[in-house]
Structure 1
């Protein structure tokens, strides 16, 4: 359980090292996701920083380890971050007890992808990115005077399965980095076809909380939001008048439009998760309440999204969104 860390300073964002230093610690050459864990470790592993291991059900994962003591684990299936631990060992993310890891369905928890569709629509729920194997594009651990930032870049491109439901050529590139105890994500979508395409997307972020009634989200007051709790297909448009969004009295399923780049989730322990995003534009707040009786009290979803207004990308162009997560004391 994530707890307050009194007296622990927030690390400043540092610039990347020059290309010469990066090349010294970067492993690149795309390998198919079907490669064995041993193959991935041999080609992309970086001792002490990036390790490929078998996750649950034998599914390949990559573990990032920072010299500060923080760590993250990413499953290649769905490019899903399932663990982000602080140096203290406290887990920040939440994986539901009904999650499966045998690739029969998307992983329920952590940071799943919603692409190229958020929510229900003409194709399958939340798109296809979360239930496909992504390829390893590269790994790195930037050389620093005092510490390294371990990183993995994962890549997804079209295949027969995706083309049947979404007839477009694309390249999605997802980079996960540990910078001290911060978790950073960078999501890029490139149009590799000869016609424009349109999509919506989100990071369906699950965070562990001390208790759902103790959790609250700040930074959304005054925004217009779509309340989907009663009828997801015909949501009510409302204005958020509360200083903080709270939970526990019923299903919460709200899409906040044109949200600020910074919001915070108070997890109820004296600590909060600060979420700083660019490019995503919207924020989705969700808790299933009694529709998931066995676990709803333990997590809240605060999701960076691009859904109020769809993205259109011309041939050869790209779209990019980033999110930095860090734990702060309240």
Structure 2
């Protein structure tokens, strides 16, 4: 069910109540391929952070805020698959063809595109969305009446990734609930002895009441790459609409987009995306190529695509998006 409640999150400073597999001054270690019981023993925070067996036996982490908001993320692909408001309304969308047995990336929620967005030299959207990420820390605000839960996961190079992308790296992904808001931060660290380039995106699926009622605002006047006809050789266009609506297949990358973009979902509510570090915005709906589900979601994605990120050895790149539900009827 698409959003029917209007709620406004509160961003508060984090973090105390912290669980980690290492002491404060020890080198960072991570826990990969651990059992749910082991993860809970090392990282669970009662009432705030819990690890569970999800669909097809895949491990997921559940964040719960005292206000009633919640989020779920699978460690496979570090894919956030649920973000609910205190009312119980789901904000994100997972496609009916999604599988959770690790045979392919999870189709829906907030999948990763790294170190390549779209088609290119390696597999579509890179490798980050079809690998297990390792848990490094969890945390929650110490205020017992208003805890802000958070989980940090890490992905590093392996023989599998080096065959596609010959670079050593550490990707650190932090997912938090700040009140009713969902906050996702990606940091990419170059642990190699040479610089590297990459493109990336958070491929966010947002549930809408009906695609013909959905509207994206904040993009007027921008140059965009229309990938609908050919994603490898997109057309360059300029957006002249106050509201981007959907009447057919849509796959557009808006370059140098503003930090604030909204998707009206058709119920009087909108999902606001406030970002830093992400320079572009992607708007996608598959229309009749996915007849059974296209009417129920729209992807509004934060991306780094128009100009690839370049990271020198020992340096890092960071991007954050804060998602909120807002009332657009006032």
SS of equivalent residue, structure 1 residue 25: strand
Is residue 180 of structure 1 aligned with residue 173 of structure 2? no
SS of equivalent residue, structure 2 residue 162: helix
Q: Give the structure 1 partner of residue 315 of structure 2.
A: 317
Is residue 3 of structure 1 aligned with residue 7 of structure 2? no
Q: Give the structure 2 partner of residue 157 of structure 1.
A: 156
Q: Report the TM-score when normalising by structure 1.
A: 0.95
Q: Report the TM-score when normalising by structure 2.
A: 0.95
1:1-24 Cα deviation digits (max 9, x unpaired) = 243435x5x34422335xxxx2x4
1:258-309 Cα deviation digits (max 9, x unpaired) = 0000000000011000100000100000000000011000000000000000
Q: CA deviation at 1:56?
A: 0.1
Is residue 201 of structure 1 aligned with residue 180 of structure 2? no
Alpha-carbon distance in 2 for matches of 1:11, 1:201: 26
**Residue ranges of structure 1 left out of the alignment (5+ in a row):** none
Q: CA deviation at 1:34?
A: 1.0
Report the RMSD for the aligned CA atoms in angstroms.
1.1
Kept in 1, the 8 Å contact 2:196–2:311? The answer is yes
Which stretch of the first structure deviates more once superposed, 143-152 or 94-103? 143-152
Is residue 83 of structure 1 aligned with residue 76 of structure 2? no
Q: Give the structure 1 partner of residue 227 of structure 2.
A: 228
Q: Give the structure 2 partner of residue 99 of structure 1.
A: 98
Q: Give the structure 2 partner of residue 61 of structure 1.
A: 60
Alpha-carbon distance in 2 for matches of 1:269, 1:33: 41
Q: CA deviation at 1:145?
A: 6.2
Alpha-carbon distance in 1 for matches of 2:270, 2:222: 21
Q: Give the structure 2 partner of residue 25 of structure 1.
A: 18
Q: Give the structure 2 partner of residue 273 of structure 1.
A: 271
Kept in 1, the 8 Å contact 2:218–2:242? The answer is yes
SS of equivalent residue, structure 2 residue 118: coil
Kept in 2, the 8 Å contact 1:28–1:139? The answer is no
**Residue ranges of structure 2 left out of the alignment (5+ in a row):** 23-28
Alpha-carbon distance in 2 for matches of 1:205, 1:193: 30
Is residue 299 of structure 1 aligned with residue 292 of structure 2? no
Kept in 1, the 8 Å contact 2:30–2:154? The answer is no
Q: CA deviation at 1:142?
A: 1.5
SS of equivalent residue, structure 1 residue 33: coil
Count of residues in Structure 1 that have an aligned counterpart in Structure 2: 322
Runs of 4+ in 1 over 4 A off after TM superposition: none
Q: Give the structure 2 partner of residue 308 of structure 1.
A: 306
Kept in 1, the 8 Å contact 2:10–2:181? The answer is no
Kept in 1, the 8 Å contact 2:98–2:107? The answer is yes
Alpha-carbon distance in 1 for matches of 2:77, 2:284: 20
Alpha-carbon distance in 1 for matches of 2:229, 2:245: 17
